[in-house]
Amino acid sequence: MLRAKTISRQRVKSSTSYLKNQVLVTIRIKNEVDSENLIWNVSEQNTIYLNNHSTNIFKFDNIVTSSANYLVYTRNFQKIIASSIIDGLNGIIMAYGQTNSGKTYTMSGKESKVKSEKGLIQYSIEDIFSIIEEQKQKEYRLKISYVEIYNETIKDLLNPLNPVEIKILIDKETNGTYMAPIKHEFCLTQYQVLDLIKKGEANRQLKQTDGNFRSSRSHTILQITVDAKDLRNSFVTHSRIVFCDLAGSEKLDSNIFRRKEGSFINKSLLALGNCISKLSDPKEKDNHIPYRDSKLTRILQNSLSGNSLVGVICTISARERNKEESLSTLKFAQRIKNIPINATKGRERNVDQKELIKIYKDEIKELKEKLVETDLKLAEEKSKTESLKKQKALINDGTKDVQDTQIFDNNLFKLELIKCRLSLVKNIKNLENLYLSARDNEVVGSIITDHTGSLDSVPSIISKITVFSFNWYHIFSK
């Protein structure tokens, strides 16, 4: 299976200056089975144009016709992820295009019994943890949130039963926006992140439309927040990587209920287009930008206001019947390409020892609950495997192959849970070193629940709290 090769530090340095001042735009043309009635041509200079229409010529950073997401990621978006983690820069990767043009496939990939394809999100997460593992002079804390905007209502995909209305608030310190209340999950391994995303995907609004059998009816925003502590000076850099999968623009649907959904989608996409138009126009950039016209633009305000790395993947169909929608998408891509940006380092501050101890105390409690949950999952999967084996022993027909596949998948998931648990246990050793190096023995002792002994007794306590870990960590071998 292909895996994105981690980008080198030297390559990051050589590309960061370009990324800091340019929106990276990639056009992906859907790979059509039937090659008839295809009206778009692509030149070697990343230029796309209509057949016999020299007036509609567009040039972008990359134009992709391959169906392989691996190539899309490594050629176009890997540098954004690497720069975000290594240099502490905020970043966003956004997918835009009409329904059934391949946006969600590009971002999230596709799971199939025949062939599975990872998306940009999965490749990015693999790289994030690979890069973190290489950064020997830094410790990292990583958490994710995952929401969707459906009919102008924000829904927490990690906590779908939340009865409280989610609001968009102003961060007084940064003057940016944030959502509350939403659930943030701290993660130690890529498997935890991918498992949470899978759970969130199950809560999305996906329905059949005239244009697509299984269409995304909402905008989704996956946010990965990274705190990096430099071990040389105790400075902490706070940065954010956002993945935004926009719902597809559509013509009027034959179903009345879906027509209402479509009107909300088109309204928010229109608001996004208006913001992009003003941001890309030198005469308008200093005037009022209408971020408040929709919840989508309000949430994306932090990423679009000029201080983040921006990568956009616009998907189109080359078929003649989709000409107007594809032309509209390319014009959007051209406008967003012209937005001036100056990506800056995320918020940086000095964290003293006492503040770190407080962070450990809060997060140890949360991670204890998380690991107990992991143990329950592991026990459940073991029970499921035993049940499948018993069923297989009673089967004499050709369905044994199906049973073998289920048992294999079940064992694979158990292996991921075990790896996650091993990573937590290894981090305990690092936690012990933090205790021993702390200046105040009493403060150190207080971060362990129900423990009031001296520093000498800390190691014995550590050996008992195998369900504990912390989030200022180095990632160990998976």
Residues pairing with 95 in the sheet? 245, 313
d(CA 330, CA 43): 15
309-316 vs 24-29, strand pairing mode: parallel
CA distances for 418 relative to 122, 127, 196, 224, 415, angstroms: 20, 21, 17, 24, 5
Q: 253 by DSSP, 3-state: which? A: coil
Sequence-separated (6 or more) residues with CB below 8 Å from residue 349 = 235, 236, 238
Scan for tokens 């403060």, then name that residue. Answer: 443
Pick from 272, 279, 311, 319: which is nearest to 294 by CA? 272
d(CA 314, CA 101): 9
Pick from 86, 136, 7: which is nearest to 474 by CA? 136
Sequence-separated (6 or more) residues with CB below 8 Å from residue 171 = 177, 178
Pick from 164, 159, 127: which is nearest to 146 by CA? 159
Q: Is 168 exposed, middle or buried (0-12, 13-18, 19+ CB in 10 A)?
A: middle
d(CA 96, CA 270): 12
d(CA 351, CA 291): 33
d(CA 259, CA 253): 5
CA distances for 245 relative to 76, 77, 253, 439, angstroms: 17, 15, 21, 47
CA distances for 378 relative to 104, 194, 421, 469, angstroms: 30, 17, 10, 18
Element (H, E) at 296: helix 295-304
206-207 vs 153-156, strand pairing mode: unpaired
**Residues at the annotated binding site for ATP?**
97-104
Cis peptide before 163 (omega within 30 of 0): no
**Residues at the annotated binding site?**
97-104
d(CA 1, CA 21): 35
Tokens read off for 301: 């305000």
